[in-house]
Amino acid sequence: MSSAPLPLGPAPIQFGTDGWRGVLGVDITVDRLLPVAAAAAQELAFRAPDGLNSRTVVIGYDRRFLAPELAEAIAAAVHGCDLEPLLTETAVPTPACSWAVVERQALGALVITASHNPPEWLGLKIKGPFGGSVEGDFTAAVERRLAAGGITTPIQANTQRFDGRAEHLEGLRRKLDLRALVQGLKQTNLRVIVDPMHGSAAGCVPELLGADGADVVKEIRSERDPLFGGHPPEPLAPYLQELIAEVQASTAAGTPAVGLVFDGDGDRIAAVDETGRFCSTQLLMPLLIDHLARARALPGSVVKTVSGSDLMRLVAEGQGRQVLELAVGFKYIAAEMLAGGVLIGGEESGGVGFGMHLPERDALFAAMLVLEALVEGGEPLGARLDTLQSKHGGTSHYDRLDLRLASMEARRRLETLLAETPPREVAGVAVNEVITTDGVKLRLGPSHWLMLRFSGTEPLLRLYCEAPDADRVATVLAWARSIAEAA
**pLDDT tens per residue across span 358-410:** 999 999 999 999 999 999 999 999 999 999 999 998 889 999 999 998 888 88
User: Hey, what domains does the chain have and what are their CATH numbers?
Assistant: 20-164 (3.40.120.10), 176-391 (3.40.120.10), 397-486 (3.30.310.50)
Residues 426 and 449 sit within 8 Å (Cβ to Cβ)? no
- The series of mean pLDDT values per 10 residues for the chain, 487 residues long, is 53 85 95 96 97 97 98 97 97 98 98 95 97 93 91 89 98 97 97 98 98 97 97 96 98 98 97 97 97 97 96 96 93 91 93 95 98 97 95 89 88 91 95 95 95 82 95 97 88
**Interatomic CA distance for residues 473 and 243, integer angstroms:** 25
DSSP conformational letter for 458: S
**What is the model's pLDDT at position 3?**
42
**What is the model's pLDDT at position 421?**
93
| Nearest alpha carbon to residue 325 among 469, 473, 441, 448 | 441
**What is the model's pLDDT at position 17?**
73
| Nearest alpha carbon to residue 253 among 226, 274, 224 | 274
**What is the model's pLDDT at position 2?**
39
How many residues are given for the chain? Answer: 487
**Interatomic CA distance for residues 172 and 210, integer angstroms:** 13
**What is the model's pLDDT at position 406?**
85
**Interatomic CA distance for residues 320 and 445, integer angstroms:** 22
Residues 206 and 217 sit within 8 Å (Cβ to Cβ)? yes
Residues 107 and 55 sit within 8 Å (Cβ to Cβ)? yes
- Nearest 5°: phi and psi at 371? -65, -40
Q: For the CA atoms of the chain, what is the radius of gyration?
A: 22
- Nearest 5°: phi and psi at 124? -140, 125
Report the 10 Å Cβ neighbour count for 436.
11
Pairing of strands 323-326, 342-346: unpaired
**What is the model's pLDDT at position 395?**
85
**Interatomic CA distance for residues 4 and 194, integer angstroms:** 36
